């Protein structure tokens, strides 16, 4: 049974426009220790928080109640959601971004996600990374995070093999938008397609490089077909 330790943060508000969360955003802390991350997420002067923090040892701390609006996502969007903080539960994983995620930490995350998705009726396709909702601006939970492991337990999604589509930037844009990615406007990013492609690869093929290819098209086509986002969103800040 999952044990959740209370470590209240002062940094939260009231959800806007929704009464309950309908998505989950995963992060890494980019800090050296769990205690250092806890102190930052709980300190009023930093104006940042998350609902949960999971240590490398698998300890789960609750900083903000599920029904409240934590301050973890910042500028960005997913599908029609432009105020991600109001719609989401934020989970921080204690990790500097330079090492694999520890087994006890991943096991605790799986238990927590199972509970949250059931409690709030959150679809698995709405478990996303910080980098998904803020292309280019954010890179967490990063290339070392095992998204396929979560998908095997229906706690997130993973693309099938697919195939048959040539590499086409216009088609990729349409499919990625259907799945949930929101392309930054050209006046904010010189290359919006590369920004979203990089975020997409960071999650689904982190060691892939180079131009848009057949594998990218097959993966995004499968995801867009099986897991279309709830409407379209406005463009996030990119920088």
pLDDT tens column, 69-99: 999 999 999 999 999 999 999 999 999 999 9
**Cβ 137 vs Cβ 75: under 8 Å:** yes
* Euclidean distance between CA atoms 155 and 61, whole angstroms: 20
Q: Per-residue pLDDT tens for 154-200?
A: 999 999 977 778 999 999 999 999 999 999 887 778 899 999 999 99
How many other CB atoms sit within 10 Å of the CB of residue 153? 11
pTM value surpassing 0.85: yes
pLDDT at 236 over 60: no
Q: CB of 129 within 8 A of CB of 203?
A: yes
- Provide the CATH number for the domain formed by 4-152 in this structure: 3.40.80.10
* pLDDT tens-place string over residues 129-144: 999 999 988 999 999 9
Select which of 10, 45, 47, 92 is catalytic: 92
Judged on CB neighbours under 10 Å (0-12, 13-18, 19+), 142 is buried
Instruction: Please confirm, yes or no, whether 56 is among the known catalytic residues.
Output: no
């Amino acid at each position: 049974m999952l044990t959740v330790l209370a470590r209240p943060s002062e940094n939260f508000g009231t959800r806007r426009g929704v009464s309950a969360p309908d998505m989950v955003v995963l992060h890494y802390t980019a800090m050296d220790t769990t205690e250092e991350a806890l102190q930052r997420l709980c300190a009023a002067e930093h104006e940042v928080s998350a609902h949960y923090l999971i240590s490398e040892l698998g300890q789960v701390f609750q900083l903000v109640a599920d029904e409240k609006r934590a301050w973890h996502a910042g500028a960005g969007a997913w599908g029609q959601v432009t105020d991600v903080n109001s719609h989401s539960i934020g989970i921080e994983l204690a990790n500097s971004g330079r090492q694999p995620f520890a087994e006890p930490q991943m096991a605790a995350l799986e238990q927590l996600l199972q509970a949250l998705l059931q409690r709030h009726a959150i679809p698995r396709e709405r478990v996303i990374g910080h980098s998904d909702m803020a292309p280019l601006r954010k890179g967490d939970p990063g290339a070392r995070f095992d998204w396929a492991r979560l998908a095997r337990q229906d706690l997130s999604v993973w693309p099938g093999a697919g195939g048959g589509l040539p590499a086409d930037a216009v088609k990729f844009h349409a499919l990625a938008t259907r799945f949930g990615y929101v392309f930054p406007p050209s006046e904010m990013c010189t290359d919006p397609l590369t920004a979203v492609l990089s975020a997409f690869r960071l999650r689904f093929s982190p060691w892939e490089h180079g131009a848009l290819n057949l594998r990218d098209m097959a993966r995004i086509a499968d995801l867009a077909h099986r897991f279309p986002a709830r409407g379209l969103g406005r463009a996030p800040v990119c920088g």
